[in-house]
Amino acid sequence: MKLMLPPSSKNWLSLAGVVIALTSLFMIVFLFIVTSLMREQAVYLGLVTYILLPAIMIVGLLFIPVGMFLKNRRERHEEHQLAAGWPKIDLNIPHYRHAFFIFIIFSGFFLLLSAVGSYEAFHYTESTSFCGTLCHAVMEPEYTAHSNSPHAKVPCAVCHVGPGADWYVRSKLSGLYQVYATVADVYPRPIPTPIKNLRPARAVCEQCHWPQKFYGHKLQLQTHYLPDRDNTPWRIGLNLKVGPSQAALGLIDGIHWHINSRVRIDYIAADSGRQQIPWVRYTNLDSGAVKVFRDKGRTTGSGVLPPPGVMRTMDCIDCHNRPSHLYRAPAQFINAAMTAGRIPATLPEIKKLAVQFTSVTYPSGIAAQESIRAGILQFYQLHYPDLFASQRALVEKGVTGVQEEFMKNIFPYMKVSWKAYPDNIGHLYFSGCFRCHNGNHVSDTGETISNSCTLCHDISIQGTPGKGLEAARIGESLKFRHPEEIGDAWQDTPCSDCHTGGNP
């Protein structure tokens, strides 16, 4: 049977629709083959292939019936014939039959392409490249930090959306305003941490991190460099008590005890960033025992009533609040780069110099790069002329290393730095653990939330390698010794009061 197009299809609007649809289809197939052969996906190519071109093809397909409808109406008007009731389709009439089969064949083909395209579009909009590179300036900090994080291989949507269709729809609806804010340039700088209306962290984090496996201790070894001429290394090893001393004991103590299934910790924060916590409640879910701790240094309400604020049940994200988008402080990322060799530790005073130049507020990334380079070169040319002349390549390596570390952690255009996003793990540069474990939270019976150092970690190693490095026996802890002589001041003052992250 030879299929023939109905006479009403012979009009300029339908013809234009056919040309648009076929051209779009050809481009979609061509770009799909190109993207399949490419080793790395180009973000804008995916945007064109799976979103823009299908939309144009649909518009072209709509032109075809619209043109046919307009032609039929015009012909009826010219012949003074008014159609009454629903249109009649008689498959015994050849041009009706031809139109019907053409519609069925092309509709089935279009539905198949739509299914494949929708599937690819879904995965494309869930990809890290779509989230991180489509809006270069806005998402550059988040994308860069994610690329250098332990979760670099985990797509954004796995954590930000998680499993389930309902949260996928919520995320896309939320994304509509984000698109508008980006196009209209009305987004804040820096972008606030999305604390409210988040999916419960345990519903997302525990897809990979099982609570049953949060057992045992972990040895963490770090090297800090002093701000002296020789960049004297100071090594410290911590035996982190992430769980009990033996895995067989379960979550009876240790840092991850906070998410024990038999315990619930509720708290009320006095600020939107949850950095000031004046009220904490502990509930033993087995016995029903309840203890309420109030910060004696703050006003926390009257009597047994909690202070005003939203009560929150503690979960993973209360401590691990920067799992993939961590912007390290200058002192922190310079130490790491020197240990890794990206910044030569043999360059005299490079630690102090690098922290000094990376802590300055710059108007742009380009200005930061230029100032860091000019400042470091000028310093060595002025104070170490012999070294500058004989080891220029070493100095250049130091300059490049400092510039690269700055660009990974500080983004002037978006006003993003470690100051904007506190990291609640530890307590060196931010309050972190000391938000609750500061020794000031007391219950009605006089019990205090402990601020003992050995509650969460033992010091197993400390000191300068080769110059009196101390080591503790297994199960014991060294008494903390500050790298610089400050007496016992460290016992009375939180670390973050002196260690701002912007000083060496």
pLDDT tens string 116-134: 666 666 666 667 777 777 6
Residues 6+ apart with CB under 8 A from 284: 262, 263, 290
More confident residue, 371 or 301: 371
Residue 81 pLDDT > 60: no
Query: For residue 43, is it left (φ>0), alpha (ψ between -120 and 50) or beta?
Result: alpha
Q: How far apart are CA 456 and CA 477, in angstroms?
A: 11
- The reported pLDDT for the residue numbered 93 is 72
Can you tell me the mean pLDDT for 365-389? 95
Task: Provide the pLDDT for residue 316.
Answer: 87
Residue type, 118: S
Residues 6+ apart with CB under 8 A from 359: 330, 501, 502, 503
What span, in angstroms and rounded, lies between the C-alpha atoms of 57 and 423?
48
Phi/psi of residue 223, nearest 5 degrees: -120, 125
Residue 268's CB is within 10 A of a number of other CB atoms, namely 19
Asked if the model's pLDDT at residue 44 lies above 60, the reply is: no
Provide DSSP, 113-137.
HHHHHHHHHHHHHTSHHHHHHSSHH
User: Is the pLDDT reported for residue 3 higher than 60?
Assistant: no
Does the structure show a pLDDT above 70 at 299? no
C-beta of residue 339 within 8 angstroms of C-beta of residue 351: no
Arithmetic mean of pLDDT over the chain: 82
- Under DSSP, the state recorded for 306 is P
* Contact (CB, 8 A) for 324 and 146: yes
Which of 12, 4, 110, 109 lies closest to 64 in space, CA to CA? Answer: 12
DSSP-assigned beta bridge partners for residue 448: 442
401 or 91: which carries more pLDDT confidence?
A: 401
User: SS3 for 172?
Assistant: helix
- Residue with the two structure tokens 């500061």: 438
139 CB-contact burial (10 Å; exposed 0-12 / middle 13-18 / buried 19+)? buried
Average pLDDT (99-103) is: 72
Q: Cα torsion for 159, 165, 170, 176, to the nearest 10°?
A: 100
Q: How confident is the model at residue 136 (pLDDT cuts 50, 70, 90)?
A: low
Find the distance separating the first CA and the last CA of the chain, reported in whole Å. 84
